[in-house]
Each structure stands twice: as C-alpha cells, then as structure tokens.
Structure 1
C-alpha cells in the first residue's frame, strides 16, 4: 500500500514555496493501488463523490483541549458542506480524535477503529495517539492528521473519501483561533491558550504528541473572547496542557493574559471565565496575581492543580519539578486569599518505586485537605516514556492502593455545609435525568435545579435544599437575572443549532467536565468540610416520594448530551415531566415491592414443603 508521508512534503515537491497553502485540488496524495483482480474485473476503487455532500461521525476522547480541536474540525467540515451525525451507522466517514494519556483511552480507540474497519467505513484518525505513536499497528490503512494540522481536516477527509490514504504529521504554526467551530454546547467556548508544555514528566506521552510550549498571543486571545461573547457564550474555559506555563515562550505570563481577558467580559456577569489545569511550578511566582483574578466577579473561584503524589521521592521519580511543600503553598495561599476557593487535584497510584510509606503520605495529604474533587488513576506505563522502563509496583498492589484511596475520598462530605445556603448559579446544561438543569456557583460547584429549558444560558439565585456526595440540589428563588435570548426556547433543537465563527456553521451537542464544591455564601465561608461518611450524607439528602430515585440519580449523574434524541424526549414541559415521573416512580416502586414480597412468600413455602418431605423419609 502506498501513501505519502506528509501532504506538506508532497506540495513542496511540486515546487510550492514553504508555507504556501495550495488549493484543495492541488494537494498531492498517492492513491491506493488497485489489485490485479480489480483491474481484471474492471471494478473501480471508489465511487466518484461530490466533496462536501457526505455525512461525518466525529468521536472525541480525552481532555477539553481535544474537545476544542474536534469542535474546530467539525466546524470546518460543516462550513464546507459536510453533514455531522452522532450515529456512526449513518456516517459515510468516521473521524476519531484520540487521547494518549492513559491506556484505557487508547484501548477504546483501538476498539472503535476495529468497528470502523469491520463496517468498511473510511476512517481518519486525529489527535495525540497518531502524533505520538506514528508506527502504531492500528493506524495501518487509515488516514492520519496531526494535532497541529487540524485546519487541514477538509483536505484529508476529501482525499480519504476518494479512497486515498493520507498522513499529515508535520508541526507547523498554531492553527488560527478564527476557524469555523461547531460547539458541543452552545453556551460553552473551550479556548486553547497554548499547546504543549515545558515539563518532561517521565510518565507522560502527551509531550510526545503536543510537543514544546507554543502560546497564542494575548491579542489573538482577546479577539477570540470578544467574538464568542458576541455570539452568546456564557462560559469560557481556558484550556491547555499547562495553563500556568502560558506565555513563557513569547515573553509574557498567565496573569497578563487573564487581566486582559477579564476586561472583555460583560460587567453584568453574564459570561464567566474558568481557568484550566495548571501545574504548581509555574504559578508559584504569581500566586497573589492569580488570587486577584480568581476573586474577580466574572471568574470562577476554581482551579485544577494536579499533585500526583504526596511523596517527594515519587515526585522526583516523576520529574514533576516541585515538592509537596510547593503544592501546599499553592493550595494554602489560594484558600486563604480567595473566599470559597475550590481546588481539584490528581493522584497516580502505584507509580514505579512507590513504597507503602510513599502511598501513606499521599493518603495523609488527601485526608488533610479533603479536596472536593480528586481524579484517582492507576499507573499505566505508556510506550516510549522513561517510566515504562522503571521497575513496576505489582498490579494487584496498584489496584489495592487505588481502591483504598477511592474509599478515603468517598468518605468525605464536601457539600454537607451547603444546605440552606443561598447561591448564585450560571445555568448551561441539561442533566442526564431530563428533569434537572445544571448550574455552577462562583466556586464552580455543580447545582441541579428543576427549571424550564428557557433558563439555559441565564444566571439566577437558588436556595440549596439538599446535598449529596457528587452534587447539590437547589430551588430557584427569583426570576433569571439575565433574560434568555429570543431564540432560546424550550425546543432543545434550538440549543443545538447556533451561528458561530462562520456564517454557515451549525452546532451539535454537549461537553464533559468536573464538579467541585463548598458553600460560598457569607454564612458558610470558613466552615470546614465534614468528615461524615457518604452513607450518612445520602440518608438525609432527599425528601418525599422520590428519595430513592434521586439518590440513584445523584450517584450516577453526569452531563447530558444535547443531541437529536433529546429533542424528541424533551418535547413536554419540565413541570409535566416531573409530575409524570413522580407517579411513574411511585407505581413502579409498589409494583417491584409486590413482586419481591410475593416471590419471598413462594420461596419460603417451597422450602417448608421440601423440608417436610425430607423429614417424612
């Protein structure tokens, strides 16, 4: 099978000057060779296709940066005329945007590639996996697009649909932020501020794919914020592999960027800014400035700061370039200077060389701070990384430590003190139960409320009525402080279709993120998180006939995809849906109880009869 190593190499061979973007029809790609049998039978390799008339299925794995890349690729395809679908079977081509952080993500990608090949669908693989592992067996026979080539996706898709195999890997300048974009959620803009990082963590494969730090200029990011605010976006997520490292390659820093961006946010607090993940080393010197930004009324008082381990020897083995003391300084300073501050962190269990004492220090750190959100991972050796060559902790022990730390984390009751508090929330999503809407407090605490879908994209005051381990529930106290746009109606399809960066862009659906917590009202600010066990917190979290149903909802709650199926399911008003579900749940509970009771009686009767027969012998 023949294919070119890189489209850029091909056009350069045609005499194009470096950096020149040739028209799509000038892209040189070697076609697949037809077999002798095909030539004898006279069967064409592929049917002639009209570019831009096909349907594309886009699947994304990984972080918010990957999600943003997918939205940009979907936007360009849509602008060129391609239709987008959430149903793989309906698609003429699959586009899979991959993640290389953990083995499970790559395994899921491999499974999906196999399904695509079995369905004989043309396939384009994008993202960190092909960029970081070019010789991967699973990538044989498919087209590939690198992480810095997402603005060439239309060309790659067109050539792939013609039956050609394309490889597009070379690193270039950063893709423009003004490309057409199809957001998963109309109200949320994921804004990449830089790519790559300055670190060299021994376990990280992402650096192999994203490369060294490359920052967008402050002016380009300010222009983008102006644009998305004018388009009606209500949350802006700053995304990168390490937000704290922003600007060090172009002579500026993160506080300078943040101060420039918040000047562009509406003074009525209709649009909120969320700062993305940052490693400790690069914000230590800017803690006061970062705290000032986090205190701004239009910035969520939330930060994701991965610690990975509570042991200095393990951090050294990871090459994390900070100590536990440094991490504590970041957390303590922000918690002191920012009222209601919420911090999420990450832990890797079972890193090579981690001893029982090392792990005990990690558990102690988590117990001390009782972080409301902890992302706990088992160590996965990634091919080509230094950690993959280190002596490993036995997998049984790794799983044991992961379970132990998870049990510790789940014993916290971080939301318990919020009950009865008054909070302002920004509503941007629909819950998976189809009944609640999802809002976030200033501290980015996830709050579920029953409200009409017309309140999406608005803010309002709520009273927290009940709390659970993963979410809190509230009731609206007043009318939304921001009236929704006229086009925002109860018809969910209008949430899924919006003009964005291009006049012919259309939107599809959802997103995924994390949740955090602690009451930000004055009466609750300095109260510590309770150590009450999860079960005790759950016992009192709901009232009335739907207690059992809401408990299950809270345990398994995640964000709802705003897709076409939800249009049909959301036709009835929320109030009608709620009442109907209450009666349905009540009847169902009694029905199940009756079946269980009757079955128990029958089993007891059979046992008694069987016993009497035995004794008769």
Structure 2
C-alpha cells in the first residue's frame, strides 16, 4: 500500500478531480503522507490558465521532483494540454489523465478494501465490498501482505447489504474486492455469478450493478455462467475488468499471475459470444524486470487483438518486501519508452470506440457531478458520457436519461439530452 502526497491548483473542477483521486486511493487501501518527503508517490494536479501559471506549475513540479524520493505524477489541465513541457524540463514525471492516476499508484496490485468490508453509500453510488483477500501470490504485489487469502461472507449476507444500499438511495451498486472472480473460493465454490443473479432478481427498485476487478484465472472457470448472467439482466453493466498484465506467458510466470494468455483470451471470446456490446477493461504492467523486447511486443499484439476499451498502463516499480524487488530491473528509459508506445496505442483504441458512438442515442445513468453544470454518467456498457448543462435542464444525479452522443474527448463521450 502506498503513501501519497497530492497538491491541487486551479479551479473547482480540478479540486473535484483531486477529491475523486483521493477517494479512489483510499478505497484501494492507500494513505496520505505527512508531506512529499514521506510519500511513495507525489501527485501534482495542474492549472494552465495563463503563462505565469504555467511557469509556476513547472517550478512546483521541479521542486516536488527534488523534495520527494518517490514517483512524481503530473495531471490536470497543463499536463493534458502541454505535457511535453514537463519532458522538456527534464522531469522524471508520469503525465496522466486524472482518472488514470489511481491505477498508476496501485502499480498493478489488487485494491485493498477496508478491514470491516462494510458497504458505503457515496451520493447515488453504493460501494459493496463482497469479500476480503485474494487467492493470488503475485511476485510484485505488497497488498497480499495486508489482506491474506480470500474470506467470503455468504451470498445471503451480501444480498442483504446490497438491498440495504438500494433502499438507502443507491442507483448504482459497485461490487468490489481484491479479486471478485474468486468470491466463494474459500467455501469450495466460486459464487460471483450466483450473487449477481440474486441481486438482479430479488431486489426491488431501479439500479445498475458494476462488477469490480476480477483476475482472469478466477473468471475463467466460471466464464460461461458469468457471461450468461450478464446477458440475462439489464441491471448489470456489460463491463468486465480482467487485468491480464502481460501478453507473454513467460512474464506472467515470473509475475506468478496464475493465468496464461490463452485463458484471458477465452474469457474475452466467451463474453463476445454472449453479449452484443460490452466493455473490456484490463491492465498492463510494462517494464517488468524480466520483460524482453519480444515479451513487450506480445503485450502490444494482445492489446491489438482483444481491443479493450479501458486500459490501465503501469510502468513497473519495485515495492519493498516483494520478490520482484530483488530482481535486477530494466532502465527507466526502457520503461518510459514502452509505456509511451503502449499508451499511444491505448488512446487509438479508445478513440476508435468513442468515435463509433457518435450519433447513437444511449440510456445513461447519471452518477457524478461534472464541471460547471454538467453531469456525468454511464451507458449500459459502462462507457462514460458527460452531458453539458444537464443541471439546468431539470435532471439530477440518479436519473436515467436518453442522450444522443454528439462528440467525444477520447476517454469519454459528450451527449445531449433527447
């Protein structure tokens, strides 16, 4: 688990984005540090309103780079509009969109739920941790030292927690855990599909359900049952987050990831068979100590083949106390070049997806405040749609609206109310 330091400059929108970054980091078991010098990662959320601001942002980035022994992440307006300025200043910083920051900090590790794994209602979103721990032993992951093996409450217990969230006003339930795909494994039977089916059939009310991260190995054994449940229930977002981490079986073996590339592909093919439209989300770690040029090309080829619509690209960094920390690492330049190449391919894939949506009318559940008077929600495939000026048109969080997609910004669509 990482200690983070975050600084925010600029408008209310930037402050809101930083709050969401912090919320995601805390949900993942990470904690704020007392200052940049104590942090494992320093995050600078930038503004670029005038030239003087730009100079201030570069100066502060240089100061943070010197103050902290940790990784430096730069996000916000200047990072997205003028990211090359930070490279020109010879800063060893990762320039990211704000919603990519939590995944980068997580470094490919599983999220860590709170010790009591109790549900939380955050606005109209109910967060339901269904279990604690995992069945993996990844060589790069420090989370396992904090969580241990899977501990699954009963389906009945989680069902009642989900029902309580809906009755309390949740319009979206986010199923979370270190690895949702192995829920029930400690009881001798994987039960994620059973829990999802019962939530959708036995709880009254209007709501949608998003399933959180599920490692390919856990999903593979129940892929037919799980895909069938997704196809049967409109309440389920057609969305699966299955982090493959590498397209090379050799690297996956060194990572001790348990699955092979072929099993990941079979999961994808099964969901393709059952669902007309769905979103695949996955993660790649680039620059693992044993990753060769050929291994990296296999990862790029897998990305092109399966075309996940949401891709988290993380440059490998060592975590103390893990086996991978003792491996001789690759140079920072190699990792940076591979990260850049994969991130460019990632943006091409995502741009293609959102471009294909333009002109469509989508059913969107509004769950988040956007900038100014906009609201943000998700369609049935959990693709993000922002609706400008929505609050002035009589809609509010928790509403499900029809929206025509009029444009996109690579990582989300823009819509108008119909």
- TM-score > 0.5, shorter chain as reference: yes
Asked if residue 417 in structure 1 is aligned to residue 377 in structure 2, the reply is no
C-alpha distance in 1, partners of 2:331/2:117?
46
Match of 1:274 in 2: 210
Asked if residue 258 in structure 1 is aligned to residue 219 in structure 2, the reply is no
Asked if residue 429 in structure 1 is aligned to residue 363 in structure 2, the reply is no
Offset of residue 176 of structure 1: 6.7
- Structure 2 residue corresponding to 1:368, chosen from 300, 305, 327: 305
Question: Are the aligned partners of 1:60 and 1:97 in contact in 2 as well (CA < 8 Å)?
Answer: no
Question: Are the aligned partners of 1:177 and 1:220 in contact in 2 as well (CA < 8 Å)?
Answer: no
Alpha-carbon displacement from aligned partner over 1:21-58 (angstroms, at most 9, x marks no partner): xxxxxxxxxxxxxxxxxxxxxxxxxxxxxxxxxxxxxx
C-alpha distance in 2, partners of 1:301/1:230?
23
Match of 2:31 in 1: 97
- Structure 2 residue corresponding to 1:359, chosen from 296, 314, 322: 296
Offset of residue 105 of structure 1: 7.2
Offset of residue 455 of structure 1: 2.2
C-alpha distance in 1, partners of 2:31/2:328?
32
The answer to which structure has the higher strand fraction is 2
Asked if residue 403 in structure 1 is aligned to residue 340 in structure 2, the reply is yes
Question: Are the aligned partners of 2:265 and 2:306 in contact in 1 as well (CA < 8 Å)?
Answer: no
Asked if residue 188 in structure 1 is aligned to residue 129 in structure 2, the reply is no
C-alpha distance in 2, partners of 1:401/1:68?
26
Match of 2:87 in 1: none
C-alpha distance in 2, partners of 1:65/1:283?
25
Offset of residue 266 of structure 1: 3.3
Asked if residue 106 in structure 1 is aligned to residue 43 in structure 2, the reply is no
C-alpha distance in 1, partners of 2:25/2:182?
15
Question: Are the aligned partners of 1:61 and 1:97 in contact in 2 as well (CA < 8 Å)?
Answer: no
Question: Are the aligned partners of 1:64 and 1:190 in contact in 2 as well (CA < 8 Å)?
Answer: no
Instruction: Quickly say closer, same or farther: Cα 1:63–1:215, change in 2 above 3 A.
Output: farther
Instruction: Quickly say closer, same or farther: Cα 1:402–1:63, change in 2 above 3 A.
Output: farther
Asked if residue 442 in structure 1 is aligned to residue 380 in structure 2, the reply is yes
| Structure 1 unaligned residues grouped into runs of 5+ | 1-58, 70-95, 116-146, 151-173, 478-617
Match of 2:48 in 1: none
- Structure 2 residue corresponding to 1:210, chosen from 139, 142, 147: 147
Alpha-carbon displacement from aligned partner over 1:63-121 (angstroms, at most 9, x marks no partner): 8594288xxxxxxxxxxxxxxxxxxxxxxxxxx8369xxxx973349x9xx99xxxxxx
Instruction: Quickly say closer, same or farther: Cα 1:105–1:260, change in 2 above 3 A.
Output: farther
C-alpha distance in 1, partners of 2:158/2:396?
29
Question: Are the aligned partners of 1:280 and 1:327 in contact in 2 as well (CA < 8 Å)?
Answer: yes
Instruction: Quickly say closer, same or farther: Cα 1:176–1:201, change in 2 above 3 A.
Output: closer
- SS of equivalent residue, structure 1 residue 214: coil
C-alpha distance in 1, partners of 2:282/2:181?
15
Question: Are the aligned partners of 2:117 and 2:131 in contact in 1 as well (CA < 8 Å)?
Answer: no
Offset of residue 228 of structure 1: 1.0
- Structure 2 residue corresponding to 1:67, chosen from 19, 27, 33: 27
C-alpha distance in 2, partners of 1:105/1:272?
37
C-alpha distance in 1, partners of 2:168/2:175?
17
Asked if residue 472 in structure 1 is aligned to residue 413 in structure 2, the reply is yes
C-alpha distance in 2, partners of 1:187/1:416?
29
Match of 2:75 in 1: none
Question: Are the aligned partners of 2:130 and 2:176 in contact in 1 as well (CA < 8 Å)?
Answer: yes
| Structure 2 unaligned residues grouped into runs of 5+ | 1-18, 44-63, 69-111
- SS of equivalent residue, structure 2 residue 253: helix
Give the structure-1-normalised TM-score.
0.50
The number of residue pairs the alignment matches comes to 325
C-alpha distance in 1, partners of 2:213/2:128?
13
Offset of residue 61 of structure 1: 7.1
Determine which structure has more spread, i.e. the larger CA radius of gyration: 1
Give the structure-2-normalised TM-score.
0.72
Offset of residue 324 of structure 1: 0.8
